[in-house]
Amino acid sequence: MKYLIKARIEIDGKVDKHDVIGAIFGQTEGLLGQEFDLEDLQEKDKIGRMQVDLKQVGSKTVGSIQLPSNLDRVETAVLAAMLEVIDRVGPYAARVVVEDIKDLRTEKLKIIIERAKEIIKKIRESEPDIKEVLRQVEGEVERAPRVIEYGPEKLPAGPDVEGADTVIVVEGRADVINLLKYGYTNVIAVEGAKESLPESVKRLAQNKKVILFVDGDRGGELIATSAIGQIKVDYVARAPKGREVEQLTGREIAKALSEMVPAEEFLKELRPPEQKPEQEVKEQKVEVKEEQKAEAKPLTVPEAEVPQEEEKPKPAEVTLALPKSVLGEVEKLKGTLEAVLLDSKWTEIGRVKVKDLFNAIQSLEQGKAFAVIFDGIITQRLVDLAAERGVTLLIGARMGTKLSYRPPNVRVLTFSDIT
């Protein structure tokens, strides 16, 4: 946040924090249009969480209001002035006065400057002794873990391969040396064994989590496929395309291991599309009863969202039929910041404010709501909750950030998709 609005509030009666916050949101709603709607600004992370501190003084309530702002300087000033229109909290008269608007960046800069002064003093006090630095580096190199010979096959390995609960299996000795250099001591090489893995590796894999780390070429894929068929492999990591594990830097090794995938997923990626089992291909449908189809408006869904059958090619598109009543509900909701919950017969079972929608869905019985239409932003958190509570269709005013995951049992649409 860039700024912090600080205001003082005085109320001619006894109230609580939520009364003050409710009064602020309620009395400013629509005052300066949608652009300065506090709920909308919070959803877009343009303002932060409002903090209200109150105390009772006789028959009155006095306190402070703090509101972080990520708007520019002029917009923040308008927002601060808007707070001063609050004239009632519950049944009591109230007065709000803005006392200060702090530039948080300036405050942080002061802290940085003071800390930098402390750091420069320490640098001046301790000039580096280059001979001591070289001696320490040399000692660290001498203490670096060395390759050991493991099992009767004398396989190249790291010193912790036996005691660690996870083992990294690589192809050759050079790979082991490179990983040891960057601190990976639970590593062992199969030494080019492609058809039959060494018995020592098979024994290790029985009681440990196994990460198979292969080169980024066709040879690496073949070794991985063969190994998965012989031992229990939990994850597969690959070097960047065309690179070998022995060539990687420490950062590249860490990145490759962070992007490892389950062995089953690795095999699926290698399998040509026409060889995928039928059970992996599922058609996405939203069923509409016969009596609803006559008054329904067809909606085209892009081909990328519709998995294809193996032997019977599907059309490039499927249609989702929405009753005219639903389309009309979308038009009514625009600009209201409200949400409507519908059952499988498209009958309304609830209507709430968008700010209360998450709690409303969370409190529903599993599968009770078939569709949710709301004048708000579709977020990953809301989509995940819809999938959890059995909501089949989610229609929002617009998308927030791009969804990282779309559950297969939830269809997600925006107002612009259907109007």
178-220 residue pLDDT tens? 999 888 999 999 986 556 889 999 999 988 999 999 999 888 8
pLDDT at residue 127 in the model: 62
List, by residue range, all CATH 3.40.140.20 domains of the chain.
Answer: 293-305+317-418
CATH of segment(s) 293-305+317-418? 3.40.140.20
Query: Alpha-carbon distance 240 to 230, whole Å?
Result: 25
Overall fold of domain 3-105: Alpha-Beta Plaits (3.30.70)
Comparing C-alpha atoms, which of 196, 135, 147 is closest to residue 172? 147
pLDDT at residue 312 in the model: 42
For domain 166-273, the CATH architecture is 3-Layer(aba) Sandwich (3.40)
List, by residue range, all CATH 3.30.70.2690 domains of the chain.
Answer: 3-105
Portion of the chain with pLDDT greater than 90, in percent: 43
Kindly report the average pLDDT of the chain as a whole number.
Answer: 83
* pLDDT of 64 above 60: yes
pLDDT at residue 215 in the model: 92
* Residue 295 contacts residue 324 (beta carbons within 8 Å): yes
Mean pLDDT of 283-292: 42
CA distances to 167, 216, 268 from 183, in Å: 13, 22, 31
List, by residue range, all CATH 3.40.1360.10 domains of the chain.
Answer: 166-273
- Alpha helix locations (H) across 282-353? 290-293, 324-333
101 CB burial (10 A radius; 0-12, 13-18, 19+): middle
